[in-house]
Structure 1
């Protein structure tokens, strides 16, 4: 299909949609970007949607593997979040990394695409990932400066305090849940000043665990999710190594197949 407007989503698991599990979608996930695309298509059928994001990718991989692919699609709109997997590494040169990021954003803007960027999440509520809070703050200042210089829109994830509620997170405590992806889709559209008809989820109250129960839950989480995650990084492998992009060319995905 030919589309006069094309939305291309780039990034890692955040943009691929991990945590918003859907067996009917490619790679078994839906996600906020799919939901943003749905609203764009429902409002205007001239929009097509491509998603090149793959879980586990670091920033240089995203820039090297996805920017050219996005430019080949002649995008009208690009969303890009990259760097979270770098920040979690033992060592990272954030200043150098963000220089490459700036170059990538510049290429997208010079091609005429509107660009939406994201600051990193404030993980202060996580005993494990909260240790990277300082790195994320530096990353965020770079994102805001690049957005100012390049004329990009910023979704300020750091300041979206709703996401401090664990009900917006999947059981792995690393990715947003379906509720989280739904809320993020609404916040992205609002940052773009685009109308939407997304019904925000009503969260179920989580039981308050006693200390012993919380310790048991934390230990189970470490065994089932944290240890395998650390192991993959030590082996230099990624959960996305054998995956292809969900939507490599612009389409109207199945959930946006509404009458014209």
Structure 2
């Protein structure tokens, strides 16, 4: 066993960092997990970080492709959020899905790693994704039960009501913005009871749109983001099919702006 503390992040676009666009980062995104890792390193330089998350991955893919890879890295800490892409599918056996999730979390905990889990977001404010609210509520109860049974820490995304502000979301209305990822990093570190130097982001005021303006904005969003998203699912392809993990090899990348 290594004496190095090691944080390994698992999951899909949420953990990869989609929405927090950054051309200097691998895959063009930064994200809350990178920000959490930076704070861990600032507090203790012995920390290393790997991020195996890839956008578009469903639960089974995350369990099959990322759990063993994470265990091979001998993690001290693992964060994992999986299942959001399954919930959005037309059909889902959520009990079977979450039973497999429980098995995966059990394996991570058996390694001695601390594990942080997430409930799903309350999408009641979305006319499209709000339809999955009931599924997400069932998913969340499973996550809470798994966290209790396995001794995992939980970040209760559903109850983080500040994320109901659209200022924390990217223009695609599906992923958090840079401000959202920054806020999530703060909430994760708080759940872990870890120190940090992240300031809460200030949101720009957004002018209220008239009904005609809102309809035009919704139509443009549907053309540019919703239709391509639906099309990929109908074709059985993912935006992450040609991507590799951002940080498959543990290290401690720190930005100059963080260390300054």
Same fold (TM over 0.5): yes
CA–CA separation in structure 1 for the residues paired with 2:66 and 2:257: 26
Which position in structure 2 is the counterpart of 1:8?
8
Is 1:168–2:168 an aligned residue pair? yes
CA–CA separation in structure 1 for the residues paired with 2:234 and 2:51: 28
**Alpha carbons of 1:3 and 1:26: their partners in 2 closer, same or farther (altered >3 Å)?**
farther
Which position in structure 2 is the counterpart of 1:107?
107
**Structure 2: gaps (5+ residues):** none
Which position in structure 1 is the counterpart of 2:212?
212
Which position in structure 2 is the counterpart of 1:185?
185
Using the TM superposition, give the Cα deviation of residue 82 of structure 1 relative to its aligned residue in structure 2, in angstroms: 0.2
1:50-65 counterparts in 2 under 5 A? 50-65=50-65
**Structure 1: gaps (5+ residues):** none
| Contact 2:10/2:66, CA 8 A, preserved across alignment | yes
Q: Deviations over 1:127-180 (max 9, x none)?
A: 000000000000000000000000000000000000000000000000000000
**Alpha carbons of 1:197 and 1:257: their partners in 2 closer, same or farther (altered >3 Å)?**
closer
Q: Under a length normalisation based on structure 1, what TM-score does the superposition of the two structures give?
A: 0.97
| Contact 1:3/1:47, CA 8 A, preserved across alignment | no
Is 1:18–2:14 an aligned residue pair? no
* Greater than 3 Å deviation, 4+ residue runs: 256-259
CA–CA separation in structure 2 for the residues paired with 1:228 and 1:53: 22
CA–CA separation in structure 2 for the residues paired with 1:208 and 1:67: 45
**Alpha carbons of 1:189 and 1:258: their partners in 2 closer, same or farther (altered >3 Å)?**
closer
| Contact 2:4/2:47, CA 8 A, preserved across alignment | yes
**Alpha carbons of 1:213 and 1:257: their partners in 2 closer, same or farther (altered >3 Å)?**
closer
Which position in structure 2 is the counterpart of 1:230?
230
Q: Under a length normalisation based on structure 2, what TM-score does the superposition of the two structures give?
A: 0.97
Give the RMSD, CA atoms, in angstroms: 1.2
CA–CA separation in structure 1 for the residues paired with 2:121 and 2:254: 30
